[in-house]
Amino acid sequence: MPGDLAVGIHDLSIATTRYVLTHETLAARNGTDIAKYHEGIGQRSMSVPAVDEDIVTMAAAAAAPIIDRHGAEGIRTLFFATESSVDQSKAAGVHVQALLGLPSAVRVVELKQACYAGTAALQSAVGLIHRDPAQRVLVIAADVSKYELDSPGEATQGAAAVAMLVSADPALVRLENPSGVFTADVMDFWRPNYRTTALVEGRDSISAYLRAVEGAWTDYTEQGGRKVNDFDAFCYHQPFTKMARKAHRHLLAFCGYDADDSEISRALRHTTAYNTLVGNSYTVSMYLGLASLLDNAGELSDKAIAFFSYGSGSVAEFFGGTVVPGYRAHLRSGAHRDAISRRVPIDYARYREIHEYEFPDDGGDYPVPIENDGPYRLTGLFGHKRVYETRPARSRNG
């Protein structure tokens, strides 16, 4: 195995939902000062899945442009990261394998650890490629963030998917060693099997996140990582976009630097553009930040990017990457912006109907109406089985 083999993200594609609920609509319903949303948590709207959308349809929509561009040759592994699993046994990625028409000679695994699982999938992919540089790995993260109506977490909801093709000699970002890791057994956010909505201890969650920043950074530096001022941009997990500012301020102070507002803005401003409109997408969040950075920042060739991935409960990782010269030719900036801008606004009554929609558990046949106009849809639940379809004349962004 060559010691200097460059491995990283060769292609990246995002998808989100058919519908969007603005925070103005939510604030008008619950009487909240809109500044609490726009300024307090840094959010302006949230993606809402149609009843015929879920993590599988978003995942397939995100991954299809990658397969269209590169083909499936050499892809022998599909890692699917989510905390919104549609089945306790079968990996959601198996549905995606079928929808994309991938060959049967592919291992498919689902990974879960709150919002951290996308990074676990990415790092696992890097390890496989170091073992066999001819392989490519398809990494998909997809989630729907859902909290109780009228709860403090409601305004942070969102939904999205990101697909990444991981390979040797990547075209977008070369990932670096070392990584700093951190785990602590805390109950800051969780969702028992018997619930469809998550539980969160807000103050505990923020403090657990910040402790993880310290722990992962400490391990990263002990492993011989870069200095904090070596990085040109920072991609943080964003349960709400202002959390990235809290985290970076905390990291700078922990490293002995003044937490200057202008410096924080410089390091983060391009990484939050998509998340502020999509909402919390759990495992997707940090990589949606990466897509936003690559699509919206100025020239980044040879620039170092820091990544902080956090999953409640809690597991965290800090690592770095370098943007590959010529990366702009491989971006999907127009398609990404269109995925966000084309969402259809809904009123609060429709949002509430979707939020409360659940399949009965009696094993009957329950088709769902056609709502989303994407290439893939959930047709319904039939005899306890989720059934998906590919539209014959599907439209893909490539």
DSSP element (H, E) containing 80:
strand 75-81
Contacts of 204 (CB under 8 A, 6+ apart): 186, 187, 188
**Max Cα separation, the chain?**
61
DSSP element (H, E) containing 117:
helix 117-131
Question: Which listed residue (10, 23, 53, 115) is catalytic?
Answer: 115
Phi, psi of 99 (to 5 degrees): -65, -35
Contacts of 33 (CB under 8 A, 6+ apart): 27
Contact at 8 Å (CB) between 285 and 116? no
Neighbours of 269 (CB within 10 A): 16
Q: Which residue type does 91 have?
A: A
Distance CA 95, CA 98 (A): 5
Phi, psi of 320 (to 5 degrees): -125, 165
Question: Which listed residue (53, 83, 176, 317) is catalytic?
Answer: 83
Neighbours of 114 (CB within 10 A): 21
Question: Which listed residue (237, 250, 270, 336) is catalytic?
Answer: 237
Check if 83 is active-site. Answer: yes
Contact at 8 Å (CB) between 92 and 142? yes
Cα–Cα separations (whole angstroms), residue 117 to 21, 79, 150, 244, 372: 27, 10, 28, 18, 27
The residue among 57, 237, 251 whose CA lies nearest residue 160 is: 57
Distance CA 163, CA 97 (A): 13
Cα–Cα separations (whole angstroms), residue 98 to 93, 142, 267, 389, 398: 9, 17, 40, 10, 20
Check if 115 is active-site. Answer: yes
The residue among 295, 282, 12 whose CA lies nearest residue 173 is: 12
Q: Which residues are catalytic?
A: 83, 115, 237
